[in-house]
Structure 1
Amino acid sequence: MHNEKVASNRFLVSKIVEAIKFCGTFELALRGHDESENSENPGIFQGLINYTAEIDKTLKDHLERATVFKGTSKEIQNDLLDCIFEVYQEIVSAEIDNAEFLGIMADETTDVSSKLQTVLIFRYCKDGKPVERFWEFFKSEQQTAEVLSNLILKALEPLVAKNPNKLIAQSYDGAAVMSGKQSGVQARIKEKYPVAHFVHCYAHQLNLIMSQASSQNNDVRLFFGNLSEIPAFFSNSCQRVAFLDRIVKRKIPRSVPTRWNFKSRTVNVVFEYKEELIECMEEIEESPGVNVSTKTQAGAIRRLLQEKSFVFWLTFFHYVMPHVDIFFNELQRRLIDSVQIGKCLKKFKESISNIRNEKLYDILNEAKALQVTETKRRKLNEDTWRASAIEVCDVIINVAEDRFAYTDQLNAANLFICERFELYDRSFPDDYFKRTIESYPMLEKNRLKTELTLLYSSAEYRTFSSCAVLLSFIIDSNLQEVFTETIKLLNILVTMPMTTVEAERNFSSLKRIKTFLRSTMSQDRLNALACLSIEQKLIRSIPDFNEKVIDKFALKKDRRIDLVFKRK
């Protein structure tokens, strides 16, 4: 009789857990303005419970008759959210225990309540494939290397303390507080975990490359400065936007200083709708209901869009931007590894070189064709434009080569570039091999060299596009015992995070979860709701997740409801 009552109670609590999971998954506020029975705005959670009760008689009877434990109070919500997050972290901890190596990513942002939030993400291999898991948002009062490294080390301690060599990589942006060689976060963590090599996020590096290329030449700096004025003109005026919507029928995206892909969108939209924008500015100038200041700015932008130098650089960067966007999108993929980045970099440099050597003449002719009128400004020599464009291309190629070069621990990626396997078969890459062993002393040197020699000699391994694909093939072919050290090195390369893009995705979730109306949310509640949103796929894949949450909920404190079965 007791166990039947427990089963019924657990069913009811499971329905409540499902309502919480639904709100968390879709980043909805659980609580409303007034959660009383007669409230017209009880909140989404209470609304879900009431809706479920309408189609589930058992839950409806419970809600109507319960006098001790109803299960819908904010205290119960918080307890269940705590249990959900604890169960989630236990699942991730178990996955990390089964993984051979671990990489970490971290980044900081300011939330809606102006509090500094640092997100920690773990990357490891599961069944031969890399996965990235959200771990936690940390709230820190100071943005110092000491504070941030202590927070990260505290989270790492129970996971890798028994095996310091398990942590093989850490990836952050290029800020001094994170990447400083002497006292940055990466240096402090490497003191305790000696093979936790630092990787500067490659997506951030691409932004730095393009920023450096756009600042080398005064004409280019002037072009991007003028370009930013166009979206700024429409940013805070409904009257101007009305003209834009009626004539251009397209929003002008604003550029962001730290995100080059936003500048790319601005370039492409202005290029594609240049004629419509000129028409829009002319109509604003001629409209009697527009003030003088707006007319003056509209006239300046119209003349800018007709100016020869601006049109040339707009056309030039319209050709360059698609290749930057393709490379940036590749860097944003979760499963990308160092070998794939090398191949993407090669294609990117080839594309920019092609523009430099083959396309500039066509770009000049296209810019001439797009020019509306001859301006009175000083006529610039086309040779000057061509020389400046070549300089920009050279800076992009050379800086990309320098920033994306495989150094130290990343030299290991050179051992698995399949296009070179035939060459390696004739002449073993001793230099790359030596540096790899220096970076990862846990590898068995002689056995690894024997395995790599066998790998290079076989033609069937010369067609794989990445370390992850090669690793999956070896595992699927049951060759783990043949390539034990090779698998270990492939695991290292696949585990190594090359970008912190996942942190940016987590920050997007943070902005949707912690909003202006929920700015006082506690850190525990934030983390629980964040894991429900960010890791919803993992949580849905665990069939007994609710049962584990209820078990923990029952043991958290003395409940006025029976939730624990008695053994017969």
Structure 2
Amino acid sequence: MASTVRKSLLRGIRKARYYGLMFDTTPDLAHREQMSQVVRYVEIDYERNTVRVRESFLGFIQVSRKDAESLTKDILEKLEKDGMELQDCRSQCYDNAAVMAGHRSGVAQRIHEKNNLAVFVNCDNHSLNLVGVHAAKEDVKMVTFFGTTDSSYVFFSRSTQRWQRLKNAVTVSLKSESETRWSSRTEAVKPVNNHLEEILQVLQDMIDDEDETIETRGDAEQLRSHLLTYGFLTLLGFWNKILARIDGVQKRLQDPKMNFHYAAVHLKALQDRFDGERKVLVSEALEVGHRLCEEWDVDFERRPRWKKRMPGEKSRDAGLTAREEMERVMKGTLDRLNRELGERFTRLYDTDAKFGFLLDIEGLCYSADTENLKKNCENFCKMYSTDVDVQLCDKILDVRMLLAAQTDMRVATPEQLLKFIVQFGYDATYPNLPIAIQIMLTIAVSVASCERSFSKLKLILSCLGASMGQGRLCDLALLSIEREETDKTDFDGIIDQFASMKARRVQL
């Protein structure tokens, strides 16, 4: 049955012809390291006139060595086994590990040497995760803040009695943090920010409850004192807003329908928003922190922190009040965020600058600019000369004319444009444009689909099933992950085929 599903997926990939590679490796699981293979392609159904960008899971590859040469060999052998031509590959997307993304001898560079049309883009979801991780480590106060947040979860989760008392007072549960999954910090900070008063009251009740152990009462008092500090109360609202905005972009990047042009637009908008709201975010956080300190009678106007006086500074410049110190810390974090957002997505921005015009439907189909269009088409045709010809610009202008005549409809996405061309039979008249858009849509921006397959892998390959063979493991994972394709399978035909096979007696 799994072989039937795999053959169906491979037929769809071969029919689409152009595809993008997505690979990611998992840590050692039951003493077997696995590499997930996902292929991104555009599925066009000419009978139903539908267009869909798909990311199909094809299986796991058991790896013994994780150097670039060995991983490249495993990938090429898997492609050959599946009957997929490497020359039809038009994109690669891996995580930011040097062995995968190294520009000299990484897996991406080795495959690019064999096929120079296989464009590589880093996993932007991993990159955005690193942006947040490094910004959170910009200052000691930031590290202390997240440590206190995580301590709240640890304190309550260590005892079922404590957890029940918390659940009786708070409608939502506290969450733990994770270094590799930045969205977990959003889930950890949000309930503390929204239910701080209730959490503090639960801690106070534990401190006053003489039936509690002395260790519990002591830990509760220590945690409450850490929560009721000027730094924590100020940074709580500050990080709650920042994390919510980062998490919103991360969730969009994990959508299989996301293309690199929209990803670049979202990331650039996030950077501009942090840059434009820099003063507002800091001032609002300071005001909220000041108000909470007054409500909870927290003393924060302590002696200023004096630092070494540098040449050119006046004596008053060397002393910072608590408010000035917190303002410095938050502005430094926002500057780090802005700098990281500008540096970690240069490859994505370069790809968007070269070929993003094909996915910018408003500019491609409804703009009156032809000079930039000609220049961009020339660059595209020069690189993809084996796929499209020099008439690409003329075909785009013809499609503009056809869309202008369609007053009752307006395309807004690349998928809708492809559907328009297929629906009216223009794919035979204007083949260059559909091919160009298909190639661009194969470029992935995240390996989230590979990460999702690891979630299934942990359920299938547990310690109890460590002796499971690699073939059975891949088959079970394929049936579970590609559930949509599995439901389309004709079980009657498989059962009849199985029943027609020669039965053999097994001697016990």
Q: What is the TM-score of this pair, normalised by structure 2?
A: 0.84
Q: Which of 69, 75, 78 in structure 2 is aligned with 1:155?
A: 78
User: What's the RMSD between the two structures over aligned residues?
Assistant: 2.8
CA contact (8 A) 1:168 1:496 kept: yes
Equivalent AA in structure 1 for residue 361 of structure 2: C
Q: Which of 364, 372, 376 in structure 2 is aligned with 1:428?
A: 372
| Greater shift in the superposed pair: 250-259 or 286-295 | 286-295
Q: Percent identity?
A: 24
Shift of 1:125: 1.2
Equivalent AA in structure 2 for residue 412 of structure 1: F
CA distance in 2: counterparts of 1:549 and 1:397, whole angstroms: 59
Equivalent AA in structure 2 for residue 494 of structure 1: L
CA distance in 1: counterparts of 2:424 and 2:322, whole angstroms: 63
Q: Which runs of 5+ in 1 are unaligned?
A: 1-83, 562-568
CA distance in 1: counterparts of 2:189 and 2:383, whole angstroms: 43
CA contact (8 A) 2:264 2:349 kept: no
What's the CA shift string for 1:32-81, capped at 9, x where partnerless? xxxxxxxxxxxxxxxxxxxxxxxxxxxxxxxxxxxxxxxxxxxxxxxxxx
Give the 3 Å change call, closer, same or farther, for CA 93–549 of structure 1 in structure 2. Answer: farther
Listed as ranges, the matches of 1:365-444 within 5 Å are 365-371=287-293, 372-375=296-299, 380-405=321-346, 406-407=348-349, 409-410=351-352, 411-421=354-364, 425-429=369-373, 432-433=376-377, 435-437=379-381, 439-444=383-388
What SS class does the counterpart of residue 107 from structure 1 fall into? strand
What SS class does the counterpart of residue 428 from structure 1 fall into? helix
Give the 3 Å change call, closer, same or farther, for CA 549–491 of structure 1 in structure 2. Answer: farther
Q: Which of 395, 417, 420 in structure 2 is aligned with 1:473?
A: 420
Shift of 1:495: 1.6
Shift of 1:261: 0.4
**Match of residue 19 from structure 1:** none
Give the 3 Å change call, closer, same or farther, for CA 357–118 of structure 1 in structure 2. Answer: same
What's the CA shift string for 1:81-128, capped at 9, x where partnerless? xxx222222112211221120111111114652321111111111113
| Greater shift in the superposed pair: 249-258 or 374-383 | 374-383
CA distance in 1: counterparts of 2:153 and 2:190, whole angstroms: 13
- 2:483 paired with 1:539: no
What's the CA shift string for 1:138-189, capped at 9, x where partnerless? 222222222222221111125566x543111111111112112222222222
CA distance in 2: counterparts of 1:485 and 1:439, whole angstroms: 14
**Match of residue 50 from structure 1:** none
**Match of residue 320 from structure 1:** 242
CA contact (8 A) 2:23 2:37 kept: yes
Q: Which of 515, 527, 536 in structure 1 is aligned with 2:462?
A: 515
CA contact (8 A) 1:118 1:138 kept: yes
CA contact (8 A) 1:172 1:179 kept: yes
Give the 3 Å change call, closer, same or farther, for CA 469–506 of structure 1 in structure 2. Answer: same
Shift of 1:433: 4.1
Listed as ranges, the matches of 1:70-469 within 5 Å are 84-110=1-27, 112-127=29-44, 128-159=51-82, 163-371=85-293, 372-375=296-299, 380-405=321-346, 406-407=348-349, 409-410=351-352, 411-421=354-364, 425-429=369-373, 432-433=376-377, 435-437=379-381, 439-454=383-398, 460=404, 464-469=411-416
CA contact (8 A) 2:359 2:440 kept: no
Shift of 1:485: 1.4
Shift of 1:255: 0.6
CA contact (8 A) 1:281 1:302 kept: yes
Q: Which runs of 5+ in 2 are unaligned?
A: 45-50, 305-320
CA distance in 2: counterparts of 1:398 and 1:435, whole angstroms: 30
| Greater shift in the superposed pair: 521-530 or 230-239 | 230-239
Question: How many residue pairs get matched?
Answer: 474
Shift of 1:270: 0.9
CA distance in 2: counterparts of 1:204 and 1:158, whole angstroms: 30
**Match of residue 81 from structure 1:** none
Equivalent AA in structure 1 for residue 343 of structure 2: D
CA contact (8 A) 1:129 1:472 kept: no
Q: What is the TM-score of this pair, normalised by structure 1?
A: 0.76
What's the CA shift string for 1:457-511, capped at 9, x where partnerless? 7775996443223222322232213432121110011122211111111111112
